[in-house]
Structure 1
Amino acid sequence: MRRRSVLSLLGLAGAGLLASRTEAQSVGVPKPLAKTLGKTKTVQAGTWPFQPVPTPLPVSSDGLAAPQQQQHYRQLAVEDRLVVPEGFRSDLLAAWGDPLAQGRFGFNNDYLGFVPRGENEALLVVNFEYISPLPWVDGFAEVVDQPLPWQALVSALAARDGLIDASRLPADDPLLGLIRAVTDQAMADLGVGVIHLQRDGQGIWRRSVDRRERRVDGLAGWQDPAQRLQATGPATAVFAAPQRLGYDDGLGVAVIGTFANCAGGTTPWGTVLSAEENFQSQVPEAVYADGSASEPGAMPLVCRAGALAGLGNPYGLAGNKYGWMVELDPSDPGSTVRKHTALGRFRHEAVAMRATAGEPLVVYSGCDRRGGHLYRFVSESRVTRPEDPANSRLLEAGELQVARFAADGTGEWLPLLPQTPVQPFAPGRFQAAGLSCPVELPHSDRARAGAELFRDDAAVAAYARRFPTLADLYRGDGEALQGAILIDAHLAASAIGGTPTARPEDTEIDPITGDLLVAFTSGAPGSSGGADPAIFSGPRGEASWGHGWVMRLSDESSRFRWRMAVTGGEPWAGGLGFTNPDNLAIDRGGNLWIVTDRSTKSAASDQFGNNSCWFIPRLGDGESAACFAIGPMESELTGLCLDRQERALFLAVQHPGEVNGRRLAGAEEYQAHRLQDRDGVTIEQLRRVPLGSNWPSQAPGRPPRPGVVVVQRLDGQPLLGA
């Protein structure tokens, strides 16, 4: 329940200002994350190396008895700022609109890749994922210091409900000029950037402009062909094919720009991989059986109040060239940026890499959609030296595999190869658990692009008989056939029986055990798919659990073992105290850092408050965790990474003010939440919540700006103490 109507309900219509809480508290985690110790700092649960940031929920380890919790959590005032522990500082490194190379620091920064260049110098690679229309449009003129004809374009498209296939407009059409005046600016705020950092005299990381700074935006190469990205791997045979079923952009293996850059990873040889995730919001996702793209008109430009999508449409971008893993060398601003198609095309999130001398290079990634899959890439050739820049070539050839989980804690990797049998997940398994999720497969009319939804086991069985292998579903000769499969990796993986999972957001390698940790952000079902309830169930067996997990996976050749290490949710429901784990980081001591990604557009999870950053110690009997940071209003904390000395934590503050834009005149609302103390007794909580944001300026009426911060101790010691 939201807004001021709750005051009357609680009999608090005359309530005065609520006091902010100052006591620290922490919450629990089911099991220690490993049994072995490294030689670096490992934290014992309950002996916190910092003063935990107070959270809005009562938790099992807050040190309060039930009567104290009743008093302590009754009222709460939420703040529009980045809250960090006492004894720490946060410093802004860069924010939307700051000059950067030939462009500007983009919008909605996400993944951060820290590449050290010595003890006191580093390059930081920053993803710019998407546009939040309200704060972007509202703040554009003030932040960028340029006009934006947004309202004129919205008015011009109003009779079309804000939709238009701009790719078909003549080049001299005035409407196309108006469209480009908006979409060019939006594309300039997407992609990837590189900023240069140096430590100052106090040991604080600061941005320092340098020739190595770089900007690769959504239209890189549109005007200057020398700036185009290049594709590698099997899909290049599709891009260069002389004939195709679908759309041809005429560029061969060259690619215009990159966008939807969400998570990523840093390689042992110093490059950064940037994951193109929700590309389907800007270009058509559906492809034909030969891997060729749908016409640009399949994803028209959308421009109306509160909505901006289909940004690839005015430029005629080919949808099959987006949704890839992108590699950038931050140390060489003139180097070619590459899209490695051997890693598959899907809504990429995260990348974890295992590079061992004498072994194949192994890369893990996930597809962040409801029912998306977990993938493993195994290179054809072997690593000679993990730090060798030539290892980039290993990403051009190998085998992409999808995970199939078993309920007994085991699993296997299935290859996305032409000869792999088609044996889809049965939709009846959803229905048996009380869920109505369909199974999404390549369309049975192979002359059509895209997917078909199946809800009947008999229909799925008939589909498998009609298309016995992936070679029967996809078209092409030689490498072009493999390329078509990889371009349509999500549907191909569904066809061969990859387990539908709970939106895999991040993958990280445990430096002590070598295990893979995977953040699954939500098991809630969707209209086109859901998570296997035999694998992704709630603490009490709930078939649909929207609060997420962190899984620990131990690879064993073509098989693996798995277990859930962390469960999100309210403590009284069996969760850890936060919801929707997103990005992960693991320090040298094996302690786990998590940031959360709950939707601020829905009231369904308002009880968890603003998105936050959590610290989970590796060992101990206390089954505890601590909140390290809480983000500003309507924001998400993303991109967490540590510097080499682990004296600094970098965070990206994404989409502050996404729902309400800039905060004006102290706008706020009151929320009522029904919580539980440690004895299971209800706590009626009243919260005062700002509407909109003024972060990072904190000045009333100023527009919010996504930005990147560094958090360090005031005394200059390591984050977890000396």
Structure 2
Amino acid sequence: MRRRSVLSLLGFGGVGVLTTKGLSGCVLDGRNISAARDFPFQPVRVPLPVNSDGLNADQQQATYREQVLEDRLTVPEGFRSDLLAAWGDPLGTSRFGYNNDHLGFLQHDPKRASMTVNFEYISAMPWVQGFEEVVGRPLPFAALVSALQPRDGVIDCGALPAGDLLLQQIRVVADEAMTDLGIGVMTLQRDDQGNWTRAQGAQDRRITGISGLEDPLQQLLSSGPATAVFTASNRQGYDDGLGDRIIGTFANCGGGTTPWGTVLSAEENFQSQVPEPVYADGSAAAPSQQPFVCREGKLGGLGNVYGLAGNKYGWMVEVDPMSPDQPVVKHTALGRFRHEAVAVRAEAGKPLQVYSGCDRRGGHLYRFVSADSIETIQDKRNSRLFENGELQVARFHADGSGEWLAVTPEAVVDPFLPSRFSDRGLGCPVELPHRDRNQPGAELFREDSAVEDYCRRFNSLADLYRGEGDALQGAILVDAYLAASAIGATPTARPEDTKIDPITGDLLIAFTSGSPGSSGGADPAVFRGPDGQNSWPNGWVMRLSDSGEKDFTWRMAVTGGTPWAGGLGFTNPDNVALDSQGNLWIVTDRSMKSSAGDVFGNNSCWFVPRNGNGDETAACFATGPMECEVTGVCLDQAEASLFLAVQHPGEVYGTRAKGDDEFQAHDLVDRAGRTFQQLRKVPLGSNWPAQAPGRPPRPGVVAIRRQNGEALLKA
């Protein structure tokens, strides 16, 4: 419930009854602190009872009956957080971009490191509100909204003549937005007290959403089979005239680092800026299929402004942070989909393996296996291994087994059947490549009989896609999500991150939510709630063990949700990290635009200690400011500092004005199973990191460490 009337409903006469005692903690007697003492830090209090709070049932009711959320980054007692960089700060020849996500930390010696930062997307309301103060010049956004109002804020820029005044207005706004997207590399230095701070470095640079638009030397390169698609002389769809070169990168969300010192950046929700559908030969749909959109609180279709080819986005991008003159490369052998996350398994004498996920409802988990083997793990020439290999996709079975399917022309068409959803009460369709192979994109199937007819018409991926040799394989890779769906890959629960366990070599996968959507959902036989629910919105962390060349086993290691429903106290695990001891660090991404997850409060960072008996527990290490996502979790070599990216603070309500709050009522359950009601005061909007009313929120990156400089997990 999100309204001020809850005060009278709960019998509270006014705001004055609220205190902040729940956030500052309460005195624990000796009988009730054992759970809190199990962790190497005092867990940060969250606004709902959790198993790690060290309170008995009566204390939980007393503590959590009233709560006040705060617009700040909260860390454990004895720790500090320092802002390293925020939107608008100078970086290279440009500025630190917007909505920082993955952080690629590479330490070169005890005193110096580089950090590669993804800038994912634009949150229109706070971006527009803060632009002039942050960037230092006005943005003609309101004038553009007014000019486009007769068109409902939508226009195909390709239909406007060169020199058109409206097109010039659009370019000003679009150029600024695209500058705030992409990738940044910054230099960090560590002082004698252990503090990491920004330093000017020769390697500092920006790769933006329009890098190469004006200077061809800044264009990105492509590698692998899809280059044959990009350079084809004849095609079904759109040709941008650039061959195997690419303008910019955007929608950069997850990522990872390689043992040889490069950073991989995942292009995820590119479909917001360019058309996602492609033709059977892998060529792009026309830019007009994703027009430019500019309304109050809405900005999208930016690729339309520049005539970008949609099939050149949605790839894994490799950057060498120490070599600013080396071209950035999109590796097409790893497939095109809504890339989120990347884990690299590199062993001398064996092929390189890369794990990644397609972050959509019903998206798949992929593995790339290089054709050649690694000789020396730290050799930068290993990047060539990304150019040639086999893309595989996971098929999970309910018994905890599974196998990797090759996404190749010979792969047999054998899709997941709609009845596997409907038999469990879910109305999810199955999404497959369009039956009319002269049409780009997908088609939704809701009946098994229609899918069976589809299989009779198309026996293999070679029947669905067009081309010869690399051109055929490239067309399949350009359409990797639909191609994988066609051969029976398991629809999963939005795979958000992948990491290799340093102790066991297992793959850990964060599946952020099992909620179904209009075009797909997760296999309910695999992605089940704690009590067997066929859909579970709170997510999991899965542990996957490769047991052969193509076989694996899996189990759910961590379950999101409230403790009284079988979860660990957080929802929607997003990014994960593992320290050298195999402890798991999780950051969360619950939607701030929906009240469904309000009970969990602000997004947060959690610590899950390594536990051999499978009885997982978790403690909150940090909570973020209002309406933000906490992302990019990583640690330095000494494991004395933890880095977080605070993304989209104030995304829903924008800049917070003094006293702008709402009240929420929540039904909670104490550890004895008794239900009680909580009244919660929630600020609307954000002023982080300035934390002064009226100041615009700015996404930024922080370093967290102990005040005494000791290791994070020192007992």
Give the TM-score, by structure 1 length.
0.96
The answer for unaligned runs of 5 or more in structure 1 is 27-43
Displacement of 1:567 after TM fit? 0.4
Correspondence for 2:42 among 30, 46, 51: 51
Shift of 1:45: 9.4
| 3-state SS of paired residue (1:526) | coil
Post-superposition Cα deviations, 1:54-98, rounded to whole Å, max 9, x if no partner, equal 011112342322222111110001110000001101000000000
The residue number in structure 2 matching 1:40 is none
Alignment correspondent of 2:25? 23
- 2:604 is the alignment partner of 1:612: yes
Q: 1:24 to 1:294 in 2, by over 3 A?
A: farther
Distance 1:547 1:470, change over 3 A: same
1:648 aligns with 2:641: yes
Root-mean-square deviation (CA), in Å?
1.3
The higher-RCO structure (CA 8 Å, 6+ apart) is: 1
Q: Is the 8 A contact 2:36 2:42 kept in 1?
A: no
Q: SS at 2:121's partner residue?
A: coil
Work out whether 1:149 is the aligned partner of 2:165.
no
Q: Given that residues 45 and 617 in structure 1 are in contact (C-alpha distance below 8 angstroms), is that contact kept between their aligned partners in structure 2?
A: no
Residue of structure 2 in register with 1:600 after alignment: 592
Deviation at 1:537, TM superposition (A): 0.7
Read off the aligned partner of 2:116 and give its amino acid letter.
V
Q: How does 1:39-118 map to 2 (within 5 A)?
A: 47-118=38-109
1:189 and 2:189 aligned: no
Is 1:233 aligned to residue 235 of structure 2? no
Q: Give me the whole-angstrom Cα distance separating, in 1, the residues matched to 2:570 and 2:355.
A: 25
Counterpart residue identity of residue 3, structure 1: R
Q: Is the contact made by 2:530 and 2:567 (CA closer than 8 Å) also made in structure 1?
A: yes
**Is contact 2:203–2:321 with CA below 8 Å preserved after alignment?**
yes
Equivalent residue of 2:711, what SS?
coil
Question: Aligned AA for 1:23?
Answer: G
Comparing 45-54 and 396-405, the one that deviates more: 45-54
Contact 1:189–1:217 (Cα < 8 Å) also in 2: yes
The aligned runs of 1:135-534 (5 Å cut-off) are: 135-534=126-525
- SS of equivalent to 2:378: coil
* Partner amino acid, structure 1, of 2:300: A
CA displacement, residues 141-193 of structure 1 (integer Å, 9 cap, x when unaligned): 00000110001110111011100001221111111000001000000000000
Return the match for 1:666 from 614, 637, 659: 659
Residues 43 and 52 of structure 2 are in contact (CA less than 8 Å); yes or no, is this contact kept in structure 1? no
One-letter code of the match for 1:681? R
CA displacement 1:257-286 (0-9 Å, x = unmatched): 000000000000000000000000000000
Structure 2 CA distance, aligned partners of 1:206 and 1:306?
Answer: 34
Q: Does 1:584 align with 2:576?
A: yes
- Give the CA deviation at 1:620: 6.5
Q: Deviations over 1:355-385 (max 9, x none)?
A: 0000000000000000000000000000001
When structure 1 is superposed on structure 2, of 661-670 and 497-506 the one drifting more is: 661-670
Matched, 1:624 2:624: no
Aligned to 1:690: 683
Aligned twin of 1:31:
none
Tell me: CA distance 1:24–1:394, structure 2 relative to 1, closer, same or farther (3 Å): farther
Q: Distance in 1 between matches of 2:616 and 2:574?
A: 21
Contact 1:24 1:54 survives alignment (8 Å): no
State how far apart, in whole Å, the 2-side matches of 1:578 and 1:447 are. Answer: 46
May I ask how many residue pairs the two structures share in their alignment? 705
Does the CA-based 8 Å contact 1:283-1:311 persist in structure 2? yes
Structure 1 Cα separation of the partners of residues 52 and 205 of structure 2: 45
Q: Who is 1:36 aligned against?
A: none
Distance in 1 between the 2:657 and 2:432 partners? 47
Q: Comparing 712-721 with 14-23, which one deviates more in the overlay?
A: 14-23
Deviation string, structure 1 residues 662-708 (Cα, Å, up to 9, x no partner): 11122111111011111221110001111110000111210000000
Counterparts of 1:79 and 1:117 in 2: how far apart (Å)?
Answer: 37
Query: What is the distance in 1 between the residues matched to 2:55 and 2:218?
Result: 59
Q: Is the Cα contact below 8 Å between 1:25 and 1:61 reproduced in 2?
A: no
> Which residue does the alignment assign to 2:671?
678
When residues 123 and 598 of structure 1 are mapped into structure 2, their CA distance, relative to the original with a 3 A threshold, is same
1:602-646: per-residue Cα shift (whole Å, max 9, x none)? Answer: 111100000000000002667421100000000010000000110
Say if 2:702 is the partner of 1:712: no
* Contact residue 25 and residue 53 of structure 1 kept, 8 A: no
Q: In 1, distance between residues paired with 2:608 and 2:340?
A: 22
Question: Quick one: distance in 2 between partners of 1:45 and 1:15?
Answer: 31
SS across alignment from 1:16: helix
Q: Report the counterpart of residue 32 of structure 2 in structure 1.
A: none
Q: CA deviation at 1:345?
A: 0.1
Q: Is the 8 A contact 2:185 2:321 kept in 1?
A: yes
Is the contact made by 2:315 and 2:334 (CA closer than 8 Å) also made in structure 1? Answer: yes
> Take 2:86 and 2:422, find their aligned partners in 1: how far apart are those partners?
47
Match of 1:563 among 541, 555, 564: 555
Equivalent runs, 1:124-139 vs 2, <5 Å = 124-139=115-130
CA distance in 2, matches of 1:482, 1:89: 51
C-alpha distance in 1, partners of 2:15/2:57?
24
Answer yes or no: is the 8 Å Cα contact 1:45–1:624 preserved in 2.
Answer: no
User: What residue identity is the alignment partner of 2:421?
Assistant: F
Letter in 1 for 2:25: E
Q: CA deviation at 1:25?
A: 12
Q: Secondary structure, in 3 states, of the residue corresponding to 1:117? A: strand
**Segments ≥4 residues shifted beyond 6 Å:** none
Partner of 1:41: none
2:556 counterpart SS class = strand
Q: Deviations over 1:535-568 (max 9, x none)?
A: 0010011101000000000002200000000000
Q: In the alignment, which residue of structure 2 is the partner of 1:13?
A: 13
TM-superposition CA deviations, 1:283-324 (whole Å, max 9, x none)? 000000000000000000010011101000010000000000
Q: CA deviation at 1:18?
A: 2.1
Distance in 2 between the 1:397 and 1:555 partners? 21
Question: Cα–Cα, structure 1 residues 693 and 25, in superposed 2: closer, same or farther, change >3 Å?
Answer: farther
Shift of 1:46: 5.2
Task: Say whether the 8 Å CA contact 2:466–2:475 is kept in structure 1.
Answer: yes
The separation in 2 between residues aligned to 1:167 and 1:24, in whole angstroms, is 62
| Paired letter, 1:627 | C
Displacement of 1:420 in angstroms is: 0.6
d(CA) in 2 for partners of 1:45, 1:245: 62
How many angstroms does 1:17 deviate by? 4.8
Residues 25 and 59 of structure 1 are in contact (CA less than 8 Å); yes or no, is this contact kept in structure 2? no
Whether 1:544 and 2:535 are equivalent positions in the alignment is: yes
- Runs (5+) with no aligned partner, structure 2: 29-34
Corresponding residue for 2:2? Answer: 2
What amino acid maps onto 1:580 in structure 2? N
